[in-house]
């Protein structure tokens, strides 16, 4: 239950609407109970009066009509107010979760699958809407109405009223407790099975082409079917317990009605002409009272799922970022732009060194190519420069100052980073290009760059720059997505360009054209490019070769190609 406390505190953001919703819920439930109770007395009193007796039916009939209208109005506005307040709280919660997630990227979030993060942010947060609507509000409403009903009926007959109230209060405690215990056993398992199935389903849809290509679709289908059976088994158990809850409450309702009919028939209601009508009043009050208890069993059956969802969300928001930006240093360009001194780094939850005692100095305005085999640590240096991670040992300086001394905004303004994976947002082509720069980019500039990188054909369609690229850029091939990333680089004005395999997946001619555009764009900038291809490598001022996290060679093309038995020379000869 402690897992729910942080989410209960969120109620403070919509305190007044939630209180108003609770009041409306109490009034609506009170009107419903009053309607049935008064109707029972009214019908019985009318029958006793008969045809030949004067009976004032105006007040009771007006009260019945008023309570009927009041119940409808109260429940209508209660639904509006409580659901609006709940949605506001959920939106606030999603924003808070998202704000917690952003600083975790990418170091901590790499531990989670994207589909699992989506489930926690959407499905698990949605599950928490039951906390107010189905659990807390109905429980406190029931408590208040039972007390108010007992006090009201005690003016007619105190022992009967107190007996009815005591019985209902006992049920108010035992029914939720019983079904909370029963639901707790499988609630967490049901939430986990649901999350696992949705994760597998999303991955199945996203990898559909690859699964068909390698004939691996059936294997994943079987895995999904197994997960679905577990999920359905838990749902079946939940349905059985929900049915048991309804049956149990109906059975207890029948017992209470019989008991109330018996005891009220023996009670002394005085000598009034319509004293026998009070028997119907108390009996119908007992019947109406179970409108309070009926939803609580099923609601508390779900509390195990609510707690499990809260724990999954809490697991994300309580993660501590591996990198925190707390500096405020100003960036002052100087000749010695980047310096790595005895730099060592190991990725979280791994043992092998990605960088091993690396020392490297890079000057402003240089064009640097970093070569090495896959897994040698080339990309890791770029990740440390943008502070996706912090080095375990050594020092990394930017313009003579340790990188942790800069604020996030200052650091981001200095770099334009093209990663190996180009993310295409589910938005228009214009928007996918616009976020490459802070200032607004003109359509003419976008069109010019698109034509330069070979994506001009995207503009042939009627939508032009408004063409929708869809989820993950599905209309684009891998090479086109890569060229879209290059277009973003050419539209960005950051002084330092970090490119990780920018020409991967492009043919030789396109690769030379793209490299020419990049070098032309970086004419007055500092360029650091990670690559394992040698196209146009001679145009770079400095070539660094990294192997097993260590810098093994550094120099310009001419000096390295003439070095006997040099690593670079052997690499060129082999390729």
User: Given 317, 349, 378, which residue is the final one in a domain?
Assistant: 317
The candidate with the shortest Cα–Cα distance to 14, out of 91, 114, 89, is 89
Q: How far apart are CA 167 and CA 425, in angstroms?
A: 59
One domain for residues 290 and 346: no
pLDDT above 90: percentage of residues in the chain:
10
One domain for residues 32 and 94: yes
492 is a domain residue: yes
One domain for residues 383 and 467: yes
**Burial of 145 by CB count in 10 Å (0-12 exposed, 13-18 middle, 19+ buried)?**
buried
Check which CATH number belongs to the domain holding 150 and give it. Answer: 1.20.1560.10
29 is a domain residue: yes
Does residue 93 carry a pLDDT above 80?
Answer: yes
| Residue range(s) defining the domain that contains residue 288 | 2-317
323 is a domain residue: no
pLDDT tens-digit map of 424-454:
888 888 898 898 888 888 889 988 888 888 8
pLDDT tens-digit map of 262-290:
988 888 887 667 778 888 888 888 888 88
In 402-431, which positions are buried (b, 16+ CB within 10 angstroms) versus exposed (e)? ebbbbeeebbebbbbbbbeebebeeebbee
Does residue 29 carry a pLDDT above 70?
Answer: yes
Q: What is the dihedral of CA 113, 119, 122, 124, to 10 degrees?
A: -130
One domain for residues 243 and 384: no
Confidence of residue 314 (pLDDT cuts 50, 70, 90): confident
More confident site: 500 or 376: 500
One domain for residues 353 and 291: no
Q: What pLDDT, on the 0 to 100 scale, is given for residue 24? A: 92
One domain for residues 192 and 230: yes
Residue 35 in tokens: 């309607």
One domain for residues 26 and 85: yes
- DSSP labels, 258-322: HHHHHHHHHS---S-TTTTHHHHHHHHHHHHHHHHHHHHHHHHHTHHHHHHHHHHHHHHHTPPPS
Q: What pLDDT, on the 0 to 100 scale, is given for residue 48? A: 79
- Name the DSSP letter for residue 437: S
> How many Cα neighbours within 13 Å face the side chain of 502?
34
Contact (Cβ atoms closer than 8 angstroms) between residue 496 and residue 334: no
Q: What pLDDT, on the 0 to 100 scale, is given for residue 105? A: 74
Counted domains in the chain: 2
One domain for residues 283 and 341: no
Read off the pLDDT of each residue in 172-193 and give the average, rounded to a whole number: 86
494 is a domain residue: yes
One domain for residues 283 and 367: no
106 is a domain residue: yes
The candidate with the shortest Cα–Cα distance to 505, out of 485, 531, 484, 479, is 479
47 is a domain residue: yes
Does residue 531 carry a pLDDT above 80?
Answer: yes
Q: What pLDDT, on the 0 to 100 scale, is given for residue 268? A: 81
Question: Which residues are registered as beta bridge partners of 340?
Answer: 360, 396
Residues 6+ apart with CB under 8 A from 55: 45, 46, 49
556 is a domain residue: yes
One domain for residues 205 and 136: yes
Q: How far apart are CA 166 and CA 172, in angstroms?
A: 10
pLDDT tens-digit map of 227-240:
889 889 888 888 89
Confidence of residue 74 (pLDDT cuts 50, 70, 90): very high
Confidence of residue 55 (pLDDT cuts 50, 70, 90): low
Does residue 145 carry a pLDDT above 70?
Answer: yes
Q: How far apart are CA 227 and CA 223, in angstroms?
A: 6
Q: Does an H or E element contain 102, and which?
A: none
Three-state SS string across 448-481, please? HHHHHCCCHHHHHCCCHHHCECCHHHCCCCHHHH
Question: Which residues are registered as beta bridge partners of 343?
Answer: 358
Residue 313 in tokens: 């969300």
Phi, psi (degrees; rounded to nearest 5) at 341: -120, 115
User: Given 289, 317, 345, which residue is the final one in a domain?
Assistant: 317
One domain for residues 226 and 364: no
Mean pLDDT of the chain: 86
pLDDT tens-digit map of 473-496:
777 887 888 888 899 999 988 899
One domain for residues 278 and 351: no
User: Given 317, 351, 377, which residue is the final one in a domain?
Assistant: 317
pLDDT above 70: percentage of residues in the chain:
98
Check which CATH number belongs to the domain holding 526 and give it. Answer: 3.40.50.300
204 is a domain residue: yes
């Amino acid at each position: 239950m402690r897992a729910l406390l942080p989410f209960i505190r969120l109620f403070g953001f919509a305190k007044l609407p939630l209180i108003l919703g609770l009041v409306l819920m109490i009034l609506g439930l009170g009107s419903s109970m009053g309607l049935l109770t008064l109707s029972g007395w009214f019908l019985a009193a009318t029958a006793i009066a008969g045809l030949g007796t004067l009976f004032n039916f105006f007040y009771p009939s007006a009260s019945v009509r008023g309570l009927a209208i009041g119940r409808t109005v109260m429940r209508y506005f209660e639904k509006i107010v409580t659901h609006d307040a709940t949605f506001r709280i959920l939106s606030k919660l999603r924003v808070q979760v998202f704000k917690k997630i952003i600083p975790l990227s990418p170091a901590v979030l790499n531990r989670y699958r994207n589909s699992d993060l989506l489930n926690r942010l959407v499905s698990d947060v949605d599950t928490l809407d039951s906390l107010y609507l189905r659990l807390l509000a109905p429980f406190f409403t029931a408590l208040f109405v039972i007390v108010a009903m007992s006090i009201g009926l005690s003016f007619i007959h105190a022992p009967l009223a107190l007996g009815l109230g005591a019985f209902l209060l006992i049920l108010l405690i035992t029914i939720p407790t019983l079904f909370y215990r029963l639901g707790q056993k499988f609630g967490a398992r049901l939430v986990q099975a649901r999350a696992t199935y949705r994760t597998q389903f999303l991955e199945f849809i996203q990898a559909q082409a690859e699964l068909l290509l390698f004939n691996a679709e059936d294997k994943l289908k079987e895995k999904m079917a197994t997960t679905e059976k577990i999920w359905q088994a838990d749902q079946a158990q939940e349905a059985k317990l929900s049915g048991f809850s309804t049956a149990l409450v109906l059975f207890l309702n029948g017992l209470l009605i019989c008991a109330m009919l018996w005891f009220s028939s023996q009670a002394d209601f005085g000598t009034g002409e319509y004293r026998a009508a009070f028997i119907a009043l108390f009996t119908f009050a007992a019947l109406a009272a179970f409108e309070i208890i009926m939803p609580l069993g099923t609601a508390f059956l779900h509390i195990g799922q609510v707690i499990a969802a809260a724990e999954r969300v809490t697991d994300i928001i309580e993660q501590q970022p591996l990198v925190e930006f707390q500096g405020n240093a100003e960036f002052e360009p100087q000749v010695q732009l980047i310096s790595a001194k005895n730099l060592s780094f190991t990725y979280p939850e791994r043992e092998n060194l990605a960088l091993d005692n690396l020392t490297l100095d890079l000057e402003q305005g240089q064009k640097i190519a970093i070569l090495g085999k896959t897994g040698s640590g080339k990309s890791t240096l770029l990740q440390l420069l943008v502070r996706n991670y912090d080095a375990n040992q050594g020092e990394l300086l930017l313009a003579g100052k340790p990188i942790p001394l800069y604020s996030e905004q200052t650091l981001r303004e200095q770099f334009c980073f093209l990663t190996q994976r180009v993310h295409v947002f589910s938005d228009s082509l214009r928007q996918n290009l616009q976020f490459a720069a802070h200032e607004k980019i003109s359509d003419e500039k976008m069109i010019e760059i698109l034509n330069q990188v070979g994506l001009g054909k995207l503009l042939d369609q009627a939508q032009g720059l408004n063409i929708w690229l869809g989820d993950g850029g599905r209309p684009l091939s891998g090479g086109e997505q890569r060229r879209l990333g290059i277009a973003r680089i050419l539209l960005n004005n950051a002084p330092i360009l970090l490119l990780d395999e920018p020409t991967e997946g492009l043919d030789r001619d396109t690769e030379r054209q793209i490299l020419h555009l990049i070098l032309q764009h970086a004419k007055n900038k500092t360029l650091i490019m990670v690559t394992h291809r040698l196209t146009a490598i001679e145009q770079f001022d400095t070539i660094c070769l990294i192997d097993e996290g260590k810098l093994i060679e550094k120099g310009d093309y001419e000096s390295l190609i003439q070095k006997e038995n040099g690593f670079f020379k052997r690499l060129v000869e082999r390729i």
